[in-house]
Structure formats: C-alpha cells, structure tokens
Amino acid sequence: MALARKIIIDTDPGQDDAFALLFALGSPAELDVVALTTVGGNVPLPLTSRNALQLVELAGRPDVPVFAGCPGPMVKKLKTAEYVHGPTGIDGLEAPDPVTPLQGQHAVNFLVDKIMSEPEGEITVCSLGPMTNLGMAMALEPRIIPRIREVVLMGGGFFQGGNATPAAEFNIYVDPHAAHVVFESGVPLAMASIDSTYTALMTPEWIDTLRAVGTRTAVQAANMADFFRRYGSHKFATEARPIHDACVTGFLLAPHLFQQKQCNVTIELMSPETIGMTLVDWWHVTGRRKNCNVLGRIDADRFFQLMLERLSTLP
C-alpha cells in the first residue's frame, strides 16, 4: 500500500480554502497534511491564521500545526477580498475561538527547514492563496527548489481572463512577484486556474446533501458554502458557484478527473493594466520550456461525490 503523500498547505482561508483543507484532512490514507502555513490574502494575516486554527479544530485535527507567514506581498500593497468572503474570511462558520496556539516559527523559515530536512521529492506544496511564503522561501534558500516534489496551486486564468482585474486572477494579482519567482524556479507546477475551477460548480442541491450528513463539520461547511455562494450571482447563469481552492485537493486525490495540458506559463509584472496575468502559451508558439501542467475541465459530478465522501468522514 502506498504511503500518504506529504503536503504542506499554504493558505489564506477563505471559504473555498476551508473546503480544500477539510477535503484534505478527510483523506488521510492519501494525503498526510504535515502543516498549514498562512499568508495575508483573502483577509489579513491575523484572520487567515485564526481561520486555519478554527478549521483544524473543526476537523478534529488540532495536531496539524499552523505557522503564520507573510502579512503582505513582496512588492505591492496587500489587496484583500472581504467583499467575497465576509469580514472574517470564513463567514458562515459558527465555531468557538481556537484554543490551539500558532507555532512560534515563521512560515517561511518552517518551509525551508521542513523541505530541507525531508528526503528529496517528499514534500508537495499546495498553494491556495498569494504565493508570498513560497516565493520568499525560494529566495531565502534556493536549495529547496529541487527538493520539492510538486507545487499545486489555485491561481491564474487564461481563456476566462481574470477575476480581480480583466486580466488577472486574485491569488496571482495580490503577489505577482512571488508567483514569478515560483513559476521561473523550475519546480514542477500544476495550476488550477479559474478556467478549471469555473467548471467545478457547487449546486444548492449538493450543499443540501452535505448538510444532511448531519455531522458538525458537514453542517458548518454547508453554512460556509451558503455564504460563499451568494457572491458572484451577477457572473453565473445558474445558482451553482465554483469552489476554487478545493480543486487543488481534488487534483491530488484524483488527477484523472481533470483535463491537463503542459504549457509555458509566465507572470506579467510590468503593465499596470495586466499585472498579475498568467500568460499561457497554449499553442507553444514561443518554444519556451513547458513549465506548468495547466488544468482544464473537471468531471464535476465525480469531483463533488468524492468531496462529499471525504467531508462525511470528519466529526
């Protein structure tokens, strides 16, 4: 029997981050969640860190350590998204204040130390927010780069444009310079862009089915989903909404559910109109090295069935 894949989840919860975390924590046979590292993104760092602690406690996994990282991007000022996620970042959740403390070590130092101490190719980094922590870790200690098995991220867009600006998806837009470091590093990359996540639409009926599981985690996840689903009604023709970051966990568990294409992807840094754009060389016209596995359409029915099964195992 294969050992569970060791992952570090770098996150800025966010209701969709919450689903990604719970999905992973409900899959211990396949995914060993070594730690969570938090970054300023959807909401400021104190809230993303608090949210991460609440979520590991909700899942009955306070043993998973949480390390707070960078409060803002490498170069730009932080842009947050309370208008999507609510003032807490995980509005809809009804949970007590966390009692589990944050770890004392900075997330960037933890990433360096942990990746250097594990065998080469052992650690996968799952990036669910701005890539500041990982970009800073690579700049601080470049020797971690060949030791990382893979970076699987939610971010970017191409055919769908952006959701933070006409050109840029939120996670990449918040810290394009960190994303540039990661994309140019040579580390194996898989990117769940909004072109992919917009095909994983969470329906009201699925949320009702999740709530009917009746466990604390299932009910609270459904509450968060209800809040999150209210955003974007002007964008989508149905009542279904994408659950972006959960696609990272879904890909790790069931990559066969995703269309995939190896492409060269670069990050636009110069233009004020298109900064943060992920420029995907879909037809390989540049001849540049194909540095990223670009994820496409998802088999949504099987994806949501798998997520329901795994969330149902949590307390």
Residues in the chain, total: 315
Exposure string over 175-186, b if 16+ CB within 10 A, otherwise e = bbbbbbbbbebe
Task: Please state the separation of Cα 183 from the chain's center in Å.
Answer: 16
Whether omega before 14 lies within 30 degrees of 0, making that bond cis, reads yes
Structure tokens at 94: 């009804």
Q: Is 284 a catalytic residue?
A: no
> What region, left, alpha or beta, does residue 86 occupy, with left being phi > 0 and alpha being psi -120 to 50 degrees?
left
Q: Give the strand pairing for 123-127 and 148-154.
A: parallel
Helix 15-25 vs helix 216-229: angle between axes, to the nearest 10 degrees?
Answer: 150
The residue annotated as part of the active site, out of 85, 180, 234, 244, is 244
Backbone φ and ψ of 191, nearest 5°: -120, 115
Q: Which residues contact 283 (CB under 8 A, 6 or more apart)?
A: none
- Taking the C-alpha atoms of residue 35 and residue 208, their distance in angstroms, rounded to an integer, is 30
Q: Give the integer Cα–Cα distance in Å for 246 and 155.
A: 12
Q: Which residues are catalytic?
A: 244
